[in-house]
């Protein structure tokens, strides 16, 4: 049975109120998956949930350990099992190294590295118990290639990717799949409006990323096969 069939648990999309996560939540719901959508802006999640009967809003600050624990308990109680976590939570900071304040760096850690740790840590016991489950982390090409003004952002995305690579080896024998997706410039509110207007034609579109994630879930539903890492760049490459 394919992972997407509603009787087989829920897909938790963390960071679903905007951009890539919202597109993934919409796409997976449209394809018949049962989706739980989390983020801090609950009004946005409610609007999404009104459009798709199989999409459910579960507001959560994914950088808050108690909130993440409560959300996962609520999901498991309501849906029985979390079949996949698609982690799209993140914020960006593009600044020269010396302009980054300690407070900004700490915030970036919270929304990128810390939230990935918390969400993954919360879903894993259920997945290990079921001997199946998928964690997809939406990361960035900034973890693979050095861009100026991305020391903090790229460094933290690289830390997330490497943390999950090590976890992949721990859970591989237990049927749990950990997948890193390194995404290139995508037209979302992560970018300032001026950048989006200027480079839109050269950027990935959130729905194209979402379609790729849907295909990835189908691929990963083969118990024999693990698509470990995927790099998704615009055809014309990185923005200059």
Ligand X SMILES: NC(=O)c1ccc[n+]([C@@H]2O[C@H](COP(=O)([O-])OP(=O)(O)OC[C@H]3O[C@@H](n4cnc5c(N)ncnc54)[C@H](OP(=O)(O)O)[C@@H]3O)[C@@H](O)[C@H]2O)c1
Q: Which residues bind ligand X (CB under 6 A)?
A: 15-21, 39-41, 61-63, 88-92, 111, 115, 138, 140, 183, 185-186, 188-190
Which CB sits closer to ligand X, 8 or 119?
119
Q: Which is nearer to ligand X, 15 or 133 (CB)?
A: 15
Who contacts 64 (Cβ-Cβ below 8 Å, separation ≥6)?
A: 118
Q: DSSP secondary-structure letter at 186? A: B
Nearer to ligand X, 65 or 128 (CB): 65
The residues, any chain, with a CB within 8 Å of residue 201's CB and separated by 6 or more, are none
If the CB atoms of residues 128 and 205 are measured against ligand X, the closer one turns out to be 205
Largest CA distance in the chain: 52
Contact, 138 vs 188, CB < 8 A? Answer: no
CB of 240 to ligand X, least distance (A): 14
Least distance from C-beta 213 to ligand X, angstroms? Answer: 11
Min. distance of Cβ 197 from ligand X in angstroms?
A: 15
Q: How far is the CB of 180 from ligand X (least distance, A)?
A: 11
Q: How distant is the alpha carbon of residue 15 from its chain centre?
A: 7
Would you name the residues annotated as active-site residues?
A: 153
- Calpha distance 100→108 (Å, rounded): 10
Q: What is the DSSP letter of 141?
A: G
Task: Locate 162 and state its tokens.
Answer: 């490497």
Side-chain-facing half-sphere of 85: CA atoms under 13 Å: 31
């Amino acid at each position: 049975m394919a992972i997407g069939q509603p009787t087989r648990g829920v897909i938790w999309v963390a960071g679903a109120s905007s951009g890539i996560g919202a597109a993934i939540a919409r796409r997976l719901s449209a394809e018949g998956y049962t989706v739980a959508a989390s983020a801090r802006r609950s009004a946005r999640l409610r609007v999404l949930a009104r459009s798709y009967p199989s999409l459910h809003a579960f507001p959560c600050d994914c950088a808050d350990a108690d909130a993440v624990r409560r959300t996962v308990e609520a999901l498991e109680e309501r849906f029985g099992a979390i079949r996949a976590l698609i982690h799209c939570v993140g914020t960006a900071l593009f600044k020269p190294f010396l302009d980054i304040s300690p407070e900004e760096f700490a915030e970036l850690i919270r929304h990128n590295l810390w939230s990935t740790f918390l969400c993954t840590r919360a879903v894993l016991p259920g997945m290990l118990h079921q001997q199946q489950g998928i964690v997809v982390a939406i990361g960035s090409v900034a973890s693979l290639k050095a861009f100026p003004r991305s020391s903090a952002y790229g460094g933290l995305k690289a830390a997330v990717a490497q943390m999950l690579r090590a976890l992949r080896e721990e859970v591989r024998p237990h049927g749990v799949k950990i997948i890193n997706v390194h995404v290139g410039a995508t037209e979302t509110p992560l970018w300032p409006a001026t950048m989006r207007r200027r480079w839109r034609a050269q950027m990935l579109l959130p729905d194209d990323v979402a379609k790729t994630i849907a295909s990835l879930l189908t691929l990963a539903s083969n118990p024999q096969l693990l698509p470990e890492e995927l790099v998704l760049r615009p055809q014309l490459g990185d923005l200059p």
